Amino acid sequence: MPETIDLSQIRALTWDIGGTVFDWHHSIKEEVGALAEERGVELDPALFANTWRRGMFEQLQKVRSGDLPWMNADQLHHMVLDDLATQHPSLALSEAELDELNGVWHRLKIWPDAAEALRRLRERYTVVVLTVMSTAIAVDSSKHNGVEWDAILSCEFLGHYKPEPEAYLSGLRLLGVEPGQAMMCAAHPGDLRAAMEAGLRSAYVPRPGERGEGNDPDLSPQPDFDINGADFTDLADQLLA
């Protein structure tokens, strides 16, 4: 169990957004499903969405290891989409249409309980994006949903991708915040534990259905995290208590 946290010492909340704040799976699934229906093509849009997302992280790992040159999430998404398009030739997507479909990541839908909780939290804390998604994805999806942040920090310009410790630490240096004064907030235990290893505190908020119905991992509270929220409202209530 972590020691009881003194919330008065926390200055900044750093947020994962892909899956935690924005519902990537259903956003992608709906767009791909509509495209397939329009073209009379049979495919599983949920599987397409999950394969696309998983493939991006597989390519991101190659960037981190040096097997691929430095690229941002838009470039990696496009690389994976190009491969998916060859696996689904019946979609017959032109280069312009591939570009347009790749843009769905810039108009992700927000989870219904997120926006109001983030607004409340900004009254006390500096509330910041810390994401492997591109700056443009974070900006565009936030504007698409009317969400405001105190800052958006994308790993694409930090020189390191999460879960590398330096990704968290370099972001905090830009904010002028010490690791112990910051709390990583995410739906992904791996992200939180990597942040904890870098000295940040941790807040877990599960997102049932993030990968589609029936694909949830264990979403139970984790005893090593400082705060476990049942949802965004509960998490905000605990952080503002």
pLDDT tens figures, 173-196: 999 999 999 999 999 999 999 999
Which CATH number characterizes residue 47's domain? 1.10.150.240
The distance from CA 175 to its chain's CA centroid, rounded to whole angstroms, is: 20
- Residue 2 binned pLDDT confidence (cut-offs 50, 70, 90): low
Q: What mean pLDDT is predicted for residues 210-221?
A: 87
Q: How many domains does the chain have?
A: 2
Q: How far is CA 219 from CA 3, 205, 216, 230, in A?
A: 22, 9, 7, 10
> Which residues make beta-bridge pairs with 12?
126, 182
For residue range 132-179, what is the model confidence (pLDDT) as tens digits? 999 999 999 999 999 999 999 999 999 999 999 999 999 999 999 999
- Residue 215 binned pLDDT confidence (cut-offs 50, 70, 90): confident
- Residue 216 binned pLDDT confidence (cut-offs 50, 70, 90): confident
Domain boundary (89, 105, 121) is at: 105
- Residue 217 binned pLDDT confidence (cut-offs 50, 70, 90): confident
Cis peptide, bond prior to residue 112, ω within 30 of zero:
no
Domain boundary (105, 129, 145) is at: 105
Three-state secondary-structure class, residue 127? strand
Domain boundary (81, 105, 129) is at: 105
Inside any domain, residue 2: no
Helices 165-175 and 189-197: crossing angle in degrees, nearest 10, is: 70
For residue range 85-122, what is the model confidence (pLDDT) as tens digits? 999 999 999 999 999 999 999 999 999 999 999 999 99
Inside any domain, residue 46: yes
Domain extent, residue 160, equals: 7-23+108-239
b vs e for 107-135, b when ≥16 Cβ sit within 10 Å of the residue's Cβ?
Answer: ebbbbebbbebbebbeeebbbbbbbbbbb
One domain, residues 94 and 112 = no
pTM: 0.95
One domain, residues 233 and 195 = yes
